[in-house]
């Protein structure tokens, strides 16, 4: 069930009505939300509900056992093996088989393996990481085990953020679950603004940018320089509007059900460094990788060289988390390399961080283009596709610039980038949601009209559903 479908709108209106009518009976309210979440997920494939139930039951039992057994580390290892094992089987086993077969073909050993007929469960990476964070937090003593199985099941399966985040920590979710989740008009206004702007980002902007991106990245032959360059910029904006649009809708829907979730995006394309970019992009994944992987590897506690190695390993695994492809590994590796090189630059040339307007803009310009270069590996289907894109960028010809088409795209993409600077102070959404007059009504009306006028005929799935 897609957020940008009529089916979801009807489903969510019914859930809101039931949620409000069951406020006096918290147990029944939780049970209804869990049933709704399972129904929501089951619309993709009912069979894969068994995976969520298996992961839920396993980590619920392990969480209780971690505070009772004498050797909790062994239980934690079981949790990690089970969760990562399920994730590997469904997401990476065919990739591993493909790599094995490629090596076997080169060696001529005749030991090829047939790939398995598997359908990747939607959102498996998200709910697996969420479940793993719970057992790690309980093991570390950062969180108590949740003894109510219904509560824990809802934590894993809560539908607004089930398939594409944000990745919510157990403490954050249970704090919201346990409080009085009464909805006031201020909360409704805030939620409606988030949902409206989220839909505009997705259906009016991201889905239209796809028409610029797909002809270039999906082509089997090299395209012109200007088409390729603008497609790279367009994809940077498409994936931002698509993913941040999803999380805006998810956070807004959760708000209407009484849950406040952490922010997941904070205008990433005005970042002045790659480190700053990851503080602004997919923020809940960034802190997950920091808290459960980077710090576990030693963080920055073992000297500059080890810190750079830890950054590289963290980003390589973060890239692989996104998908079973060498493209994603290279994408993560590039960001790891960027982060490592940044530390060297900061250590040797501290004046680079001087707070002047010119240097800030230069840092934003360089960071944005480093991110866009890495996006090529993220979007291309394979390394051959990357080669075609890079080859197209080498065919620079001023005469190929089409003023009617390319100049329009430059203006549109430049306007989207400028909107990042305008929104960077974080005040626009707050002012709109706090307004009870023309600004609030006008924003919702403009969003509705934008969706009516600019929504493509075909519904496009959210990009991060594949992860």
pLDDT digits (tens, 9 = 90+) for 153-188: 999 999 999 888 799 999 999 999 998 888 888 889
Q: What is the mean pLDDT of residues 381-404?
A: 86
| Nearest of 147, 123, 118 to residue 60 by alpha carbon | 147
Q: What is the pLDDT of residue 16?
A: 95
Are 199 and 462 contacting, i.e. CB atoms less than 8 angstroms apart?
A: no
Are 244 and 264 contacting, i.e. CB atoms less than 8 angstroms apart?
A: yes
| Nearest of 105, 98, 165 to residue 129 by alpha carbon | 165
Our answer to whether residue 322 is catalytic in this structure is yes
Q: What is the pLDDT of residue 4?
A: 77
What percentage of the chain exceeds 70 in pLDDT?
99
pLDDT in tens, 45-81: 888 899 999 999 999 999 999 998 888 999 999 999 9
- Rounded to whole angstroms, how far apart are CA atoms 39 and 312? 40
pLDDT in tens, 282-293: 999 999 999 999
pLDDT in tens, 368-382: 999 999 999 999 999
Tokens of 132: 């793993």
Q: What is the pLDDT of residue 426?
A: 62
Domain layout of the chain by residue ranges: 6-172, 186-466
Q: What is the mean pLDDT of residues 196-205?
A: 92
Three-class secondary structure assignment of the chain? CCCCCHHHHHHHHHHHHHHHHCCCCHHHHHHHHHHHHHHHHHCCCHHHHHHHHHHHHHHHHHHHHHCCCCCHHHHHHHHHHHHHHHHHHHHHHHHHHHHHHHHHHHHCCCCCCCCCCCCCCCCHHHHHHHHHHHHHHHHHCCCCCCCCHHHHHHHHHCHHHCCCCCCCCHHHHHHHHHCCCCCCHHHHHHHHHHHHHHHHHHHHHHHHHHHHHHHHHCCCCCCCHHHHHHHHHHHHHHHHHHHHHHHHHHHHHHHHCCCCCCCCCCCHHHCCCHHHHHHHCCHHHHHHHHHHHHCCCCCCCCCHHHHHHHHHHHHHHHHHHHCCCHHHHHHHHHHHHHHHHHHHHHHHCHHHHCCCHHHHHHHHHHHHHHHHHHHHHHHCCCHHHHHHHHHHHCCCCHHHCCHHHHHHHHHHHHHHHHHHHHHCCCCHHHHHHHCCCHHHHHHHHHHHHHHHHHCCCCCCCCHHHHC
What residues contact residue 110 under an 8 Å CB cut-off, 6+ apart? 104
Q: Which of 232-246, 299-313, 331-345 has the lowest mean pLDDT?
A: 299-313
For residues 208 and 398, which has the higher predicted lDDT (pLDDT)? 208
- Rounded to whole angstroms, how far apart are CA atoms 293 and 314? 6
Mean of pLDDT over the chain: 89
pLDDT in tens, 85-108: 999 999 999 999 988 888 888 888
Q: Does residue 399 register a pLDDT over 80?
A: no
φ, ψ dihedrals at 344, nearest 5°: -65, -45
Catalytic residue among 7, 282, 322, 406: 322
Q: What is the pLDDT of residue 271?
A: 93
φ, ψ dihedrals at 424, nearest 5°: -65, -25
Q: Does residue 273 register a pLDDT over 90?
A: yes
For residues 2 and 65, which has the higher predicted lDDT (pLDDT)? 65
pLDDT in tens, 216-258: 999 888 888 899 999 999 999 999 999 999 999 999 999 999 9
Are 277 and 270 contacting, i.e. CB atoms less than 8 angstroms apart?
A: no
- Rounded to whole angstroms, how far apart are CA atoms 168 and 134? 10
What residues contact residue 431 under an 8 Å CB cut-off, 6+ apart? 439
Q: What is the pLDDT of residue 251?
A: 94
- Rounded to whole angstroms, how far apart are CA atoms 316 and 125? 16
| Nearest of 139, 122, 128 to residue 41 by alpha carbon | 122
Q: Does residue 6 register a pLDDT over 80?
A: yes
| Nearest of 1, 28, 23, 24 to residue 12 by alpha carbon | 1
pTM assigned to the model = 0.91
What percentage of the chain exceeds 90 in pLDDT?
58
Q: What is the pLDDT of residue 425?
A: 60
- Rounded to whole angstroms, how far apart are CA atoms 340 and 312? 7
- Rounded to whole angstroms, how far apart are CA atoms 343 and 450? 43
């Amino acid at each position: 069930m897609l957020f940008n479908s009529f089916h979801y709108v009807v489903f969510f209106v019914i859930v809101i009505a039931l949620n409000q009518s069951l406020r006096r009976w918290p147990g029944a309210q939780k049970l209804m939300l869990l049933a709704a979440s399972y129904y929501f997920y089951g619309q993709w494939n009912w069979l894969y509900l068994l995976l969520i139930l298996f992961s839920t039951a396993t980590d619920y039992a392990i969480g209780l056992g971690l505070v009772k057994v004498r050797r909790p580390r062994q239980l934690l290892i079981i949790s990690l093996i089970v969760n990562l094992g399920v994730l590997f089987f469904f997401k990476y086993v065919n990739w591993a088989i493909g790599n094995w077969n490629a090596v076997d073909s080169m060696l001529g050993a005749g030991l090829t393996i047939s790939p398995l007929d598997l359908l990747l469960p939607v959102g498996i990476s998200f709910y697996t990481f969420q479940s793993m964070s719970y057992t790690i937090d309980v093991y570390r003593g950062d969180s108590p085990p949740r003894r109510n199985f219904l509560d824990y099941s809802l934590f894993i399966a809560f539908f607004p953020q089930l398939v594409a985040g944000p990745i919510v920590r157990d403490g954050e979710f249970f704090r919201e679950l346990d409080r009085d989740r009464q909805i006031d008009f201020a909360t409704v206004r805030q939620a409606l603004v988030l949902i409206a702007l989220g839909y505009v980002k997705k259906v009016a902007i991201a889905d239209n940018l796809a028409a610029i991106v797909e002809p270039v990245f999906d082509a089997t032959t090299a395209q012109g320089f200007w088409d390729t360059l603008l497609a790279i910029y367009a994809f940077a904006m498409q994936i931002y509007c698509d993913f941040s649009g999803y999380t805006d809708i998810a956070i807004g829907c959760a708000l209407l059900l009484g849950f406040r979730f952490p922010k997941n995006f904070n205008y990433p394309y005005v970042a002045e460094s790659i480190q700053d970019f990851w503080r602004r992009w997919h923020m809940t994944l960034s802190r997950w990788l920091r808290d459960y992987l980077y710090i576990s590897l030693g963080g920055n506690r073992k000297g500059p060289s080890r810190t750079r190695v830890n950054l590289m390993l963290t980003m390589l695994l973060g890239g692989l988390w996104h998908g079973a492809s060498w493209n994603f590994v290279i994408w993560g590796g590039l960001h790891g390399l960027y982060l490592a090189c940044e530390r060297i630059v900061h250590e040797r040339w501290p004046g680079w961080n001087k707070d002047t307007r010119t240097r800030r803009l230069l840092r934003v310009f360089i960071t944005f283009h480093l991110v866009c270069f890495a996006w090529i590996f993220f979007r291309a289907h394979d390394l051959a596709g990357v080669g075609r894109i890079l080859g197209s960028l080498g065919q620079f010809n001023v005469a190929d610039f089409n003023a009617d088409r390319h100049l329009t795209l430059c203006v549109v993409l430049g306007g989207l980038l400028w909107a990042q600077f305008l929104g960077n102070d974080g005040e626009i959404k707050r002012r709109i949601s706090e307004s009870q007059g023309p600004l609030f009504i006008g924003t919702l009306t403009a969003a509705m009209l934008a969706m009516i006028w600019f929504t493509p005929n075909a519904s496009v799935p959210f990009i991060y559903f594949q992860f």
